[in-house]
Structure 1
Amino acid sequence: MEKLTVGIICAPELPTKITKEILEELKKRFAQSVSNQIEWELDYKVDQLTGAAEQAHEIFDTAEKLKRQNNWNYVICLTDLPKHSVKHETVLADLDFDKRIGQISLPAFGFPPMKNRVKKSIIQVMQELYQANTLPPTTSNFNENKIKRQFPFSSIKKTHDIETESNVDARYLVIPAINGKLRVLAGMTFANRPWLLLTSFKPIIAVAFGTGAYSIIFTTLWQLSVNYSIFRLAALMLVSCISMIIWMIISHDLWEKPTKKGKKRIRILYNTATIFTLLIGVLVFYLILLVFFSIAIMVFVPPEMFKSVTELEGNVTLFSFLRLSWLGTSVAILAGAIGAGSANPEIVRNIAYGYRQYQRYKELQVENEKNTKEKTAE
């Protein structure tokens, strides 16, 4: 039985995590879906450039080099960077049949769950690459319905008309364009892993919780909570969350600035993804404080005392206490925004695409210099 090796080159972090989780299952699925006459071997390698290069040809060149070095028969690259065509369409995958290399962009998958859809798309790409080298050129090997099922509310278009990139023989595009852009933004936000922000919020939580707990014992806040309208309470929440987001961006230098090399469209996409990532982190943080304050108020604030101080008409209800905790949380978030600069800078900066790319390029440069020195020493 013929033996073929497939190498998966993945960018650090999310692509690497997904690759490790699906690697063993892919081996079985290749035998079922690609060819059961082949003994499939799978290998993977984490590569910095795959998560830093914005051009398809850069990744393909690196993939071809690693393919030769590791004696792989096929290569599939997983990147967490968004890919676009010259017409600004969202690129899901690029394929080079001659070199037997495929590339998949994870942000095109949108929000999780993602692992199963990525696995099925890798199988589809592998089918394309294998059949392109074993079947006649006229044989259709694009299972459109199968790959469409991985993208509800969107469609997938396959095109061979790629004039600007000579090494790309086929390309999958997410259409319509607006759906593709929304998916990419959602996928980039997920790739930023906003939940990691909570681990850096410890000093902010201390400041915010202390301020909020201190403020809710004052009867002035009780009176304000009763007199403020729902609209005013919602506006205060919005202002407090935006303040924390802005301060985190400024204090940790998260905003992607114009450069000679960087494209304006990509820069806007990176900054938008950063804002959405911070928004999710701050909203979760807000919800956690809201729950804590709601419990504390219901335990420690006597309803009779609350009614007499605020001159509330009618009985004190659960909603009355929720209004107080809502206001107290907004005050606490405003105070926490001041302490946002003390959050773990490495974790916070790592949610920004531009910063991660910069770090990956630096690590790649160090690695290249090390290899150069070793060759010179020999």
Structure 2
Amino acid sequence: MTSITVGLIPAPGMSRTLIEKIIDDLPEFAGEFVDKSCTFKFEVEVSPLASSSEYINETIHRIVKIKENNGWDYVIGVTDLPSLSDNRVVVSEFDSQKSASLLSIPALGFFFVKRKLRKMVTHHLEYLYKYNEDSTSFSSSELSSPTVMNISRETPPEDNESTNRYIIKSYIIGWLKIILGMTYINEPWSIVTNFKTLVSLAFATGTYIAIFSTPWELSLDYQPWRLIALMLFSITGMVFWLIYAHNLWQGSSTKTAAHYRLLYNLTTFMTLLFVTVANYGILFILLTISVTMFVPPEIFNEWTQANENFTAMNYINLIWFTTSLGMLAGALGSTAESEDKIRNVTYSYRQSYRYNKLQEEDNDSS
């Protein structure tokens, strides 16, 4: 039985984590969908790939070099950086003649990423293997369908190392997928605990506000739309404050194209929005306990002349109101506890770091 070695080159971070989660399943999938008469062995080497379309030639050249150094039969790069072609989202790049391909994880979206990645890696291997078996009669239309729906196949310009490319047809769906996918790769849940000081100050402020009668009366007078507007204002205000306080918004630069800056900034906003909403929920729960303890129903109803039949709803309005005020008044005075950790959620920061790392590696090797 023929033995084939496939190299996987994930970028550091989430790409590496996802590959480690699926690598044990890949030999079985490859045997089922690629060639049952072969045994497939997968090896992993992590590399800080810079793989947007701005650096695609360098990236393809780099993964081919790693493939040759390791003696692999095929190589598949797996990156967490986005790639665009004429503002359309690129899912995959193939250099069929060199048995190399590149997969952009952000194009897989936010949900079921591990399952999609497993199928896409298998599909890439099938593509490269069948091209290598018979390049003259090879047709990509005969391959199993990729996971990402509504994709089109196109041939890149002649000066590109890639010989074939998968692109999501719809601009809207493609951009929605890639922004959500980039937000997922940022792992916003991992930095929620990085704002303990922020939540503490907001909780203290909300608790302090809740012991006065004026907020009680305001919470009863406010219509639901006003409470919703105040909540949205406090959340978006917090997001923009964090962006400003940590200088996370990428301005004009000669190093990064405008459409990539837009992607990076939208992803930063979405990531911090996720974190802020999570902290808002935590603060709501904490203030629920606080208000229940410090605001007795009898005094609340007496001071506000509220209808006793609606005590629970009145309490919810008060907690909702104080949560929004606490988020605004208390948390705006603080920042994240770890500057490096919060800056690492920005793609521009990570890409710049990795590109410099690659430059150092190239200088060392030469």
Is 1:196 matched up with 2:190? Answer: yes
Distance 1:53 1:45, change over 3 A: farther
**Would you say the 8 A contact 1:52–1:361 is kept in 2?**
no
Report whether the alignment pairs 1:308 with 2:289: no
Alignment partner for residue 350 of structure 1, among 320, 344, 350? 344
- Listed one character per residue, the Cα deviations across residues 102-131 of structure 1 (whole Å, up to 9, x for unaligned) are 111111111122001111011111101000
Q: How far did residue 55 of structure 1 move?
A: 2.5
Q: What amino acid does structure 1 have at the position aligned with 2:279?
A: F
Number of the residue aligned with 1:278: 272
Question: Percent same amino acid at aligned positions?
Answer: 33
Residue 59 (structure 1) aligned with residue 54 (structure 2): no
Per-residue deviation, 1:25: 1.1
Alpha-carbon distance, 1:198 to partner: 0.8
Counterpart of 2:316 (choices 313, 316, 322) is: 322
SS of equivalent to 1:201: helix
In 2, Cα distance between equivalents of 1:245 and 1:167: 40
Q: Which amino acid aligns with 1:218?
A: F
Partner of 2:153 in structure 1? 158
1:158 aligned counterpart, secondary structure: strand
Matching residue's letter, 1:362: N
How far apart in 2 are the matches of 1:366 and 1:162? 29
Residue by residue over 1:157-199, the C-alpha shift from the partner in whole angstroms, topping out at 9 and shown as x without a partner, is: 122x322543222211112221111111111111111112212
Taking the aligned partners of 2:346 and 2:363, their CA distance within structure 1 comes to 26
> C-alpha deviations, 1:288-345, integer Å up to 9, x for none?
1112212332344222211111122453332111100001101111134324424311
Q: Which amino acid aligns with 2:105?
A: L
Going from structure 1 to structure 2, the CA distance change for 1:164 and 1:245 (only over 3 Å counts) comes to farther
CA distance in 1, matches of 2:273, 2:77: 30
- Contact map agreement 2:53 2:84 (CA 8 A) in 1: no
2:8 counterpart SS class: strand
Which segment is superposed worse, 243-252 or 118-127?
Answer: 243-252
List runs of 5+ in structure 2 lacking aligned partners. Answer: none
Aligned partner of 2:3 in structure 1 is: 3
The equivalent residue for 2:26 is 26
User: What is the alpha-carbon distance in structure 2 between the residues aligned to residue 370 and residue 168 of structure 1?
Assistant: 27
The CA distance in 2 between the partners of 1:327 and 1:164, in whole Å, is 60
Matches within 5 A, 1:1-378: 1-50=1-50, 54-85=54-85, 87-135=86-134, 137-142=136-141, 146-147=145-146, 150-151=147-148, 154-159=149-154, 161-163=155-157, 165-371=159-365
TM-score for both structures, normalised by structure 1: 0.91
| Number of residue pairs matched by the alignment | 366
Is the partner of 2:82 in helix, strand or coil? coil
Are the equivalent residues in 2 in contact too, given 1:4–1:73 (CA < 8 A)?
yes
**Structure 1 unaligned runs (5+)?**
373-378
Give the Å deviation of 1:257.
Answer: 1.5
CA contact (8 A) 1:107 1:185 kept: yes
The alignment yields a C-alpha RMSD, in angstroms, of 1.9
Q: In 2 relative to 1, CA 83–143 (structure 1 residues): closer, same or farther, beyond 3 Å? A: farther
2:165 aligns to what SS in structure 1?
A: strand
Alpha-carbon distance in structure 1 between the residues aligned to 2:50 and 2:37: 31
- In the aligned structure 2, how far is the partner of 1:66 from the partner of 1:91? 23
Give the SS at the match of 2:309.
coil
Measured against aligned partners, the alpha-carbon deviations of 1:266-303 in whole angstroms (never above 9, x if no partner) come to 10111011001111110111011112212332344222
- Relative to the length of structure 2, the TM-score reads 0.94
CA–CA distance in structure 1, aligned partners of residues 62 and 285 of structure 2: 49
1:7-31 per-residue CA deviation (whole Å, 9 max, x = no partner) reads 1111111110011111121122212
**How many angstroms does 1:133 deviate by?**
0.9
Worse overlay, 127-136 or 48-57: 48-57
Counterpart residue identity of residue 331, structure 1: L
The separation in 1 between residues aligned to 2:156 and 2:72, in whole angstroms, is 26
2:181 and 2:318 map into 1 onto residues whose CA distance is: 36
